[in-house]
Structure 1
Amino acid sequence: MDEVTKRIATFAKKTINLDELQQLLNPFFSSYTDFAEAVREFERHQVLVMIRASGRTIRTPALANRYRINKSAMSGDYHKELQHYRSKLHRAISLDSYYRSDPELWASDLPDLIKVDHYLKNHGFPQEAVPAPERSFELVADEKWIDEKGGRELLEKTGLYARLNILPVSDPLMLAINPRFIHESEQTHLIVENKTTYQGLLPVLKQTRFATLIYGCGKAVIKSIEQFSMQYPVRAAHRFLYFGDLDREGLSIWYSLNQKQAAEPALPFYEACLKKKAAAGKAYQQARSTAIDAFLTHFPKPEAQQIQSALQNGNYYPQEILKTNELQQIGREADWKN
């Protein structure tokens, strides 16, 4: 698919008037005659279909005043281009997702895919794990590409990310270790959103069933949880529990974390919060319905309704609603095996 066709394919609307079309394609043509000849060629191939009710211009050559963009006519060439590159690029590079995506995405990704292809053909898949910026520079000569410029997304959709031995670069995971359980084959880890809760539970960690107490630091844990296996290289079946603020933001953090690392709500803590009077405020927070719905499935119906009602009324339950002695008692005495 040539650049002119790609530009037309990016136009958001299904129809386009002549002035819009000329402005869209202006970078490619130095004269009206060249522009008109290209448009007439698109007409012959049914890429641009004249809307008859709008008529034609009186200028020579005459063009339609308005066209319907037939994107299905462009997909044939687009798919041929994908097939062409599928035969050229390294066999490990999957292009399947591009058949379902906008041609403009393919056009923007192609230069980087060619660089990755060149790396794989010359070096193969690396055996040694290195940090993302180092691997990024090796692949495309830009150390920020993987983490900050969409490189990770490109590598994931082409099936390469997991095979390139990339160490994630994020802030260290902040955790405390309970030596009682370090050799257990099944271990439970508690992640808490706020520093106050972390500090409150830390003195009694050895009296709990938790192998580690992890300070989530708000949203930071969504990224830093990637460091867990490197900071705690203990072979075991690891189960994660999460306790955060019972507000829209807290539920959103839990949901994003749960997408990366399964983490069940630490129900005894939340149940204790629900026995308190909800605090007013946080109505300004944006509701993330998918997060709320997923969170509520872990609670019996009465408690789920109580949480839903509080959130709808702009109320919330902060972690700090539980006093230190309450936190510690729950941490020591609750049944954490279920």
Structure 2
Amino acid sequence: MKSKIISILEQVKGSMITLSELESVATTLDTYDDFSATIHTLLDEGYMTPVKSHGTNWMGLPNSFRIQKGKVKQSLIEEIQAIQFKVHPTIELRPYFSSSKKKWKEDKPWIMLIDDYLQENGLPTSFTNSSERSYEVMKDEKWIDEKGGKALLDKINLYDKLKITKTPDPLMFAINPNNLLRNDRVHKHLIVENKATYSGLIESLLTTNFTTLIYGSGWKIASSLNQLPNQLGLPDKENQHEIYYFGDLDYEGISIYFHLYEKYNVKLARCFYEAMLRKPFYKGKENQTKNEMAVHHFLYEFSQEDQKKILAMFEEHAYYPQEVLTKEELHTIWRSAVWTHN
């Protein structure tokens, strides 16, 4: 019973609690004598002090108590202090001294994951957007912006130290002026993840019906793609943008695509991936994190035969870099593919 009452005291936001509130902790199996003895023990040990002006009940127990927060939180503070000595020195846990035990227990697993990242990598040396940093630290690109990560990072005084850009970089792309000048209402765009593939495709842009070729630069595209209409000078809602994505065929590339699909309804440039699957894969991607939902959605885009090839590749801890396709192959695929989405 003592531990139950201490748990109640830990959760109280104010500094006072009534006897009737504490009585609610007692079960039908507890006698009132046992309850009374526990209250006296807590008073003797300094967890509470009586509010004398509120009187006592028929058993001589105070009707109200003043909670001694320092004593109540002593074990919690000691636990936090012990962990503070172990974690990376940039993580500040002192703010949790005034938090509830429940809040500490909720945040502690995230803090330990952050510590794992910092112990292995140290603080970042360059700026990037929140999606990329979130994926680096938690293997979840939504954690910082959508799952409470920013509030936690602010609390431990780490958000600014992670070099997260508040303003996204401008979108990098090449323009096909022929398409832009035709005043089409639907403009097609192709995002490629890597610089080498961007350079390999840029000569073909004028021979396609695409308005732009966009350099995604890994996760950077996640925060800058929304600038596309304004940077093109096509902010009018009547202009529609059909955007395709082609990246490395690995877990991270699939996660980037799925994030863009959810956020911007980006489509998969499937023809490039189908061409990659006709070539030998590369070994050496053993440490990437698998996003089950992203992989499931990605596989749905392919035939059953190609799905089996992709799954077999992942079982071998292998991947396909975009560079597996030659410049000539990239040109041929882009020009000859039928760009419709099933």
- TM-score (normalizing by structure 1): 0.58
Tell me, yes or no, if structure 1 residue 219 matches structure 2 residue 219. yes
Tell me, yes or no, if structure 1 residue 40 matches structure 2 residue 19. yes
Q: Distance in 2 between matches of 1:16 and 1:175?
A: 62
RMSD over equivalenced CA pairs, Å: 3.3
Deviates more, 1:245-254 or 1:311-320: 311-320
1:272-287 superposed matches below 5 A: 272-287=275-290
**8 Å contact from structure 1 (residues 194, 244) kept in 2:** yes
Aligned residue among 175, 178, 181 for 1:180: 178
Q: Distance in 2 between matches of 1:336 and 1:170?
A: 29
- Return closer, same or farther for 1:51/1:28 CA change in 2, 3 Å cut-off: farther
- Return closer, same or farther for 1:52/1:313 CA change in 2, 3 Å cut-off: farther
Aligned residue among 251, 268, 271 for 2:271: 268
Q: Which amino acid aligns with 1:41?
A: S
1:143-292 superposed matches below 5 A: 169-182=167-180, 183-234=183-234, 235=236, 236-292=239-295
Aligned residue among 19, 31, 37 for 1:58: 37
Q: Distance in 2 between matches of 1:179 and 1:21?
A: 68
Shift of 1:19: 3.4
Shift of 1:205: 0.7
- TM-score (normalizing by structure 2): 0.57
Shift of 1:181: 1.1
Shift of 1:263: 1.1
Tell me, yes or no, if structure 1 residue 330 matches structure 2 residue 333. yes
Q: Which amino acid aligns with 2:207?
A: Q
Shift of 1:169: 3.4
**8 Å contact from structure 1 (residues 56, 62) kept in 2:** no
- Return closer, same or farther for 1:59/1:228 CA change in 2, 3 Å cut-off: same
Q: Distance in 1 between matches of 2:149 and 2:313?
A: 40
Q: Distance in 1 between matches of 2:150 and 2:250?
A: 31
Shift of 1:151: 12
**8 Å contact from structure 1 (residues 209, 336) kept in 2:** no
- Return closer, same or farther for 1:147/1:288 CA change in 2, 3 Å cut-off: closer
Aligned residue among 305, 309, 322 for 1:306: 309
Shift of 1:335: 1.7
Q: Distance in 1 between matches of 2:147 and 2:316?
A: 39
Deviations 1:20-42 (A, max 9, x none): 344555x844xxxx5xxx15232
Number of aligned positions between the proteins? 220
Q: Which amino acid aligns with 2:293?
A: T
Q: Which amino acid aligns with 1:181?
A: N
Q: Distance in 2 between matches of 1:229 and 1:152?
A: 28
* Match of residue 316 from structure 1: 319
* Unaligned ranges ≥5, structure 1: 1-14, 64-103, 106-145, 154-167
Q: Distance in 2 between matches of 1:258 and 1:200?
A: 24
Q: Distance in 1 between matches of 2:39 and 2:292?
A: 56
**8 Å contact from structure 1 (residues 192, 244) kept in 2:** yes
Q: Distance in 2 between matches of 1:17 and 1:177?
A: 67
Q: Distance in 2 between matches of 1:319 and 1:51?
A: 68
Tell me, yes or no, if structure 1 residue 294 matches structure 2 residue 292. no
**8 Å contact from structure 1 (residues 43, 50) kept in 2:** no
Deviations 1:82-141 (A, max 9, x none): xxxxxxxxxxxxxxxxxxxxxx99xxxxxxxxxxxxxxxxxxxxxxxxxxxxxxxxxxxx
Q: Which amino acid aligns with 1:197?
A: T
1:276 aligned counterpart, secondary structure: coil
Deviations 1:173-222 (A, max 9, x none): 11111112112222211011111111110111101121110111100111
* Match of residue 18 from structure 1: 5
Deviations 1:27-59 (A, max 9, x none): 844xxxx5xxx1523246x5x454735953515
Q: Which amino acid aligns with 2:201?
A: L
Deviations 1:263-289 (A, max 9, x none): 111011111100000111112101100
- Return closer, same or farther for 1:244/1:51 CA change in 2, 3 Å cut-off: farther
> Identity across aligned pairs (percent)?
35
Q: Distance in 2 between matches of 1:334 and 1:147?
A: 36
**8 Å contact from structure 2 (residues 194, 322) kept in 1:** yes
Q: Which runs of 4+ in 1 moved over 4 A?
A: 59-63, 146-153
Shift of 1:62: 7.9
